[in-house]
Amino acid sequence: MSDRLDHVTAVILAGGQGTRLRTVVADRQKVVAPVAGRPFLYRLLDQLAAAGLRRIVICTGYQARQVADTLGATYRHMELRYSVETEPLGTAGALRHALPLLDSDPILALNGDSFCETDLPALLAAHQPPATIVVREVPDTTQSGRVEFDGTGAVTSFIEKGKTTGTGWLSAGIYLLNREVLASIPAGRAVSIERETFPAWIGHGLRVFRTGGRFLDIGTPATYADAQRFFK
C-alpha cells in the first residue's frame, strides 16, 4: 500500500465508558478488550501502519491508564501519544481537546470501537476540504442510523438510529477532517460529532467516501462476539 499518508496524523477516539459491554468485559476499557487473542485497538493500529502513518494520538478518558499501559509509546513504526480527558467530552469534544497534539492538515480520525476495511490512500486522494466521512452500505439501518447524500457525494442529512429502516449508508467511523472543522468545535464542554458538528457542516463541504469493505463495531455483547469471528 502507498505510504502517502506518512505526513498525516491519525487520532483514535478511545475514551468511551462502554457500558453496554460491561457484562462481558467488566474489567477492561472496551478498546483494549481481547478480540481473537489481541487487544481490539491493535487491529486499528495495524490498519494505520499498513497505510504508512507514523503519528497516532489516542483520546482517552475512562480507564485511560489501562489503555496507555497496554499500548505504550510506540507500535510498529508509529509514535503513540495520548490526549487524556479529565471529564467526558463526547466525540467532538475529545477531538477539540486533542487539537494541540494534531500536527497535520487534514487529520484522520477513527472511532476506537469500530473497524472498517477502507483504502485509506484512496480516501486521502478523494478528500475535498473541509471534511469527508467514510460510509458503507448496509441492508438495514435501524440500529445504525444513516447518512444521506446527493449524486455529487455531498451530505444532505443524518437520520438517527431507530428512525429509519431498510438499505442505506451508515457512517463507518472514519473521517478525514481539516483543522478548520476541529477548530470550530466549542472547547471545554461535551460535544457530539454525530449530532452537533457534522450537521452544522451540511452545505459547507461535508462529503462522503463510499467503501465496500467489511465493517464491525464492538459496542454490544453480540457485536463483540461477532468481532471474535471476524478476525479469527
Section 163-184 average pLDDT: 95
pLDDT of residue 18: 60
232 is an active site residue: no
Section 207-214 average pLDDT: 97
Q: Which of 30, 161, 163, 232 is catalytic?
A: 161
Number of domains within the chain = 1
4: in domain: no
187: in domain: yes
Inter-residue contact 83 to 97 (CB < 8 Å)? yes
pLDDT of residue 16: 80
Inter-residue contact 170 to 147 (CB < 8 Å)? yes
pLDDT above 80: residue 120: yes
Average of per-residue pLDDT values in the chain: 93
Inter-residue contact 148 to 159 (CB < 8 Å)? yes
SS3 of residue 53 by DSSP: coil
Q: Which domain holds residue 197?
A: 9-231
pLDDT of residue 23: 74
Residue 143 DSSP label: T
CATH number at residue 79: 3.90.550.10
Q: pLDDT tens across 8-46, in order?
A: 999 999 988 767 777 777 778 889 999 999 999 999 999
95: in domain: yes
pLDDT of residue 110: 98
Residue 44 CB partners (closer than 8 Å, separation 6+): 12, 110, 112, 115
28: in domain: yes
3: in domain: no
131: in domain: yes
64: in domain: yes
126: in domain: yes
pLDDT above 60: residue 166: yes
Q: Is residue 1 very low, low, confident or very high in pLDDT (cuts 50, 70, 90)?
A: very low
pTM for the full predicted model: 0.94
pLDDT of residue 2: 43
pLDDT of residue 123: 97
pLDDT above 90: residue 117: yes
| Range scoring the smallest mean pLDDT among 40-44, 97-101, 103-107, 223-227 | 223-227
